[in-house]
Amino acid sequence: ALRSYPRPATPSVTPGSITPCMTPLGFVDSHSFTVCLRRRGQTVYQQVLSVERPHTLQGWNWGYYGSQAFYHALYPRAWTVYQLPGQNVTLTCRQVSPIIPHNYKDSSLPLALLIWDVENFNDEEIEVTIMFSLRNGSGSRSDQAGGHWNESFHRSEAGEPVSGVLLHHAAKINPFTLGVGVREAVSGPGVLVSHCTEFDPSGMGQALWKDLLEDGKLDSRPTAPSVKGRMVAAAVAAGCSVPAGGRRTLEFCLSWDMPKICFGSGEKIRYTRYFGCEGDSAPALCQYGLTHYHDWEQQIHSWQDQILQDGNLPDWYKSALFNELYFVADGGTVWLEVPSDAAEDELLGIGAKDLPGMKSILQEYGRFAYLEGQEYRMYNTYDVHFYASFALIMLWPQLQISLQYDMGEYRKRVKYLMDGSRAPVKTKNVVPHDVGDPADEPWQKLNAYVIHDTARWKDLNIKFVLQVYRDFHITRSSSYLKDLWSICKTLMDFTLQFDVDGDGLIENSGFADQTYDGWVMTGPSSYCGGLWLAAVCVMCHMAEILGDSAIHEKYSTILSKGKEAFEKRLWNGALNKNNQTALKFHRNVRALSFGALWCNSVSSICRYLKCAEWIRRTPPINPLNTTAKRRE
């Protein structure tokens, strides 16, 4: 999980969530970069590269002018360009995360590169030092719990020396180690790496500031574990000489080694397959990142360039397509290892014993989960994963396949908040709303959502069916289709009960029985009805592929009736109505109804839903004319 972007208005280090679902808010003062410039043996400029003016570390020179910096993001890379006033020097910090399509090893690694390019536009040589300071912790209350300690490290492998510091965070639950490593030059002018393994981030910080100011490097002393109530921080400095009119590069890597996470039992993180689970991998991760990031950037460029160079795509779309991908890695994300010796009954999923391919998929690619939102703590919320799933199936298809397999049944009963009714958390033959709360035991205790009984929702089952066919359409995995075919039939049979009048179109039941859980619908609706017809259509396609003539005939008949009912009951000659109800909002035109349209590439119902006319007429009514109270 890599957050590869600082806040543009505050060019500084803003770490993402290290512990799943525990996302720190706000700015951590000591998480920052500082630049020191020296000419002819004298320090002429020293500045924290942050616009903040915190109440701690007041012995540092804060308040960098944000107008002197420029920020650009193209996830998983970002660039911040700093002009140093009066110094004729430009710094560019390039952040790189190994988020690489179809690469299931490097994309799992908990590290980020921070590459500094230094350009000297003066007519004399300068000495430049970049200092990276970091608090031991994640910005939470555990930072003051005591027992945390730091140490320096040096590692050399294949002639590539890396030096830095390790910050051991000895939390009772989910302990971890942060590593900050700097690549030392192996040829040409050297990079001088120095460090301070301990300073007080809640104090004035004068000793560390003066240490760097004096000679552009840090003097380190041994450190002892912190005491309760006291925080501890560390810093690593990398310095080099930059000739007149020249350019040099300083390479940092930040890694975080939390090999196991504790929900209710310890689970190994995916990267431990490659770097072990002893909690001592931070130096190796730093070295791996520093020696591989050039290859990663080439792969990222190859992936993105074909889209960036497409003149038919608007710039806003290109930006959104890549930059919004950050949530796949920074959405409280966990990617877990499944033990190679796990018994089938331990792989809690949709009848694991009846799915021949499930065990091998989970053991090879692991379990993957991300939150609905940082404040909405439910993993793999399925009704909205329906939209986000394109990122997985197109970039990491095996994670989407794993997620599809990894659904299960849990029979505990719970009281629902909206109406007080009691029902099973997970009903048989129904796709779960989510796979659990990270504060509980995800995958073992499903459906953390307790507002409505989602077994009565109309869109979950059909979204699963649509994704199965979509996934097959992209991967061409016949074994996947065969494995999940019986589940698709079961889910569709269950959902068919909601076609109460037998016209081939399911009806909503007079409560918020779909993903928009505050909107009541009654009778047929363009949203659920459109999704239903799309699912019926792909059932016909899948039945034809698998040679299931009985199912093909069954759903062909339903499709024929359903298309006629959809047009008769919901098409008003210009737009598809939201739903048939006596409520005053029934004539609203809601863009949610476009949810059925994404499957146009894998089905053939778009012309029956009047898609072209619908798409043409809806934008002027909804987002472009917000003053209209009601429109046909």
The CA distance from 15 to 7, in Å, is 11
3-state SS class at 542: helix
Tell me the pLDDT of the chain averaged across its residues.
84
Residues 408 and 426 sit within 8 Å (Cβ to Cβ) = yes
pLDDT at position 572: 66
Q: Is the dihedral of CA 4, 7, 12, 15 positive or negative?
A: negative
User: Could you report the per-residue pLDDT of 576-614, keeping only the tens digit for each?
Assistant: 566 555 444 445 555 555 565 555 544 555 555 555 555
Residues 250 and 174 sit within 8 Å (Cβ to Cβ) = no
CA 244 to chain centre: 42
Other beta carbons less than 10 A from residue 156's beta carbon: 12
Pairing of strands 160-169, 260-262: unpaired
Average pLDDT over residues 351-372: 85
Other beta carbons less than 10 A from residue 285's beta carbon: 23
Residue 525 DSSP code: B
pLDDT band at 259 (very low <50, low <70, confident <90, very high): very high
Q: Which amino acid is at 121?
A: F
Radius of gyration of the chain (CA): 28
pLDDT at position 255: 96
Average pLDDT over residues 336-348: 72
Average pLDDT over residues 302-316: 97
Residue 7 DSSP code: B
User: Could you report the per-residue pLDDT of 135-148, keeping only the tens digit for each?
Assistant: 998 877 788 888 89
Return the HEC string of 505-519. CCCEEEECCCCCCCC
Would you state the structure tokens that stand for residue 105, as one six-digit string? 């090893």
Alpha helices, H only, 216-281: 272-275
pLDDT at position 527: 87
Q: For the chain, which domains are there?
A: 32-304 (2.70.98), 338-455 (no CATH), 457-632 (no CATH)
The CA distance from 433 to 425, in Å, is 9
pLDDT at position 614: 52
Sheet holding 89-96, edge to edge: 69-74, 77-84, 89-96, 111-120, 247-257, 176-183, 160-169, 149-157
Would you state the structure tokens that stand for residue 14, as one six-digit string? 């803003």
Q: Is the pLDDT of residue 297 over 70?
A: yes
The CA distance from 432 to 383, in Å, is 9
The CA distance from 513 to 503, in Å, is 20
Show the CA angle centred on residue 475, arms to residues 469 and 480, nearest 5°: 60
Would you state the structure tokens that stand for residue 106, as one six-digit string? 């490097």
pLDDT band at 350 (very low <50, low <70, confident <90, very high): very low
Would you state the structure tokens that stand for residue 258, as one six-digit string? 């939390």
Beta bridge partners of 334: 369
Lowest mean pLDDT among 120-134, 206-220, 395-409: 395-409
User: Could you report the per-residue pLDDT of 383-424, keeping only the tens digit for each?
Assistant: 999 999 999 999 999 999 999 998 744 444 444 444 445 555
Lowest mean pLDDT among 123-132, 551-560, 565-574: 565-574
Average pLDDT over residues 123-139: 94
The size of the chain, in residues, is 632
pTM exceeds 0.85, yes or no: yes
Average pLDDT over residues 512-524: 87
